[in-house]
A and B are shown apart, each in its own frame.
Chain A
Amino acid sequence: MRLQRPKGPVLRRVCLWWRCVSTALAVLIALVAGTASLAQPTYFLLGHEAPDFALRAVAGSNVRLSEHRGDVVVLSFWSSRCSPCRTQLAALDKSLATYRSAGLQMYGINVDDDQTRAIEFAHGGQTVNFALLLDPAKAVSRRYEVDNLPMTLLIDRNGIVRYVLRDYSAKSDDLYLQQLRTLLNE
């Protein structure tokens, strides 16, 4: 019995084309997602107690982190030269206005070499309703291993670092609000 060669070459070609396209798509998705996850390595303090510090504020009294045990604390490391940092500070300020009564504390830690720029920023047109702290010796920034600006840490009511955001965008803002609500509801 002689095997007949399958007919319908157009259909076969379409099938082959679909197979190639779907495989290529899968590989592409894996590559994109893989590189995205590689770009944000796990932060060493996640799940650990946030190191305590005391810093001077641009305006107002000194701040010690351990005094805010029982509150959800948001720390944002920023620089006056960093444009997304300013946008993020404004966004954080909005969330503080909403959730302050639920036990939210927020601090912006300036990492500028020139502290006068931070002071100018604090007293300038774009002011925020939370304390901006100065870290002139960069001791706190080193302890928290700040490798990107802006960098935002969410610390739960037990003083444990629960989330870290290493960038700012509209998407990360949504994620931040979601994570913040999670911590405030605990």
Chain B
Amino acid sequence: MSHVVSRPSFLAARKGWAVGLVAAMIGLSLAASPAIAQNAAPAAAPANAAPPSAPASTPAAPPAGADAAATPPAADAPADAAPDTRGLDQEVQGLKKDVVDLNRDLFVLEEELLFPANTQVAVFLSMDVGDFFALDSVQLKIDQKEVINYLYTPREVEALLRGGVHRLYLGNLKVGKHELVAFFSGKGPNDRDYKRGANLSFEKGIGAKYLELKINDRQRKQQPEFEIKDWE
């Protein structure tokens, strides 16, 4: 008779454990799911995030899927399937070229829409020699309004000294008279802090306006020289 009595008690004990375990598992899984999602998302993200940024930043970068599609058949395919893969490679190359062309057209279209030729103003910066001035930053004001404050890194300065020209600002201005003021900061002769300004009043007509900020060394004065050139 004793086993009849004790059986429901054991069942109840088992049931209690089972309920507890299931509840614990549900609780843990519910609690862990956001954390898992948070940790898993970054790992999966590059694959998702790459396509939107790739065409904008690196026009020549091939789509990730294209390489993945092209390489495995070449590695796994038998020898007699070689002509097919060659054709596929050519197709992939053609598609890549199309993507690059499309990206270029989109870039031109975007510029034309955002900065139409009749209102466009572009300011460039170039440097020559740079023995008397180590460029740190340039602040640009158009009609008393600051439009950009650009910090230059040593790599950018090196590129400028090698003959590079940096498009500092691209914006829109209405037709009429305007004033451009540029402040150059950096290290001057004898490694002293150096800040100079240059200004130019210009007439914006119909058509794009291109201005160039030039930093030159004046050997005779042993000083840097800053000028703004108006490209007609």
Which A residues fall within an 8 A CB radius of B?
4, 6-8, 11-12, 14-16, 18-19, 21-23, 25-27, 29-34, 36-38, 40, 42-43, 46-49, 54-56, 61-64, 67, 156, 158, 160-163
Contacts and interface: CB of A to CB of B under 8 A. Distances in A.
Looking at chain B, what size class is its interface with the partner chain?
35 or more
15 contacts: A4-B4, A12-B12, A15-B9, A21-B20, A22-B16, A25-B24, A27-B23, A36-B31, A47-B44, A56-B151, A62-B153, A62-B154, A63-B153, A64-B153, A160-B49
Interface residues of B, dominant DSSP = helix
B221 interface: no
B146 to A, nearest CB: 12
A178 B8 CA distance: 50
B113 interface: no
A163 B38 CA distance: 9
Contacts of A19: 12-13, 15-17, 19-20
What 5 A-B pairs come out closest when comparing CB atoms?
A22-B20, A47-B45, A30-B27, A33-B31, A19-B16
Given A19-B16, A30-B31, 11 more contacts: A6-B5, A12-B12, A15-B12, A25-B24, A26-B27, A30-B30, A46-B38, A48-B45, A158-B50, A160-B42, A163-B42
B34 interface: yes
Contacts of B156: 64
Interface in B127-175: 136-137, 150-156
A91 to B, nearest CB: 21
B198 interface: no
B31 A47 contact: no
A33 B26 CA distance: 12
A27 B45 contact: no
Contacts of B2: 7
Nearest to B6: A8
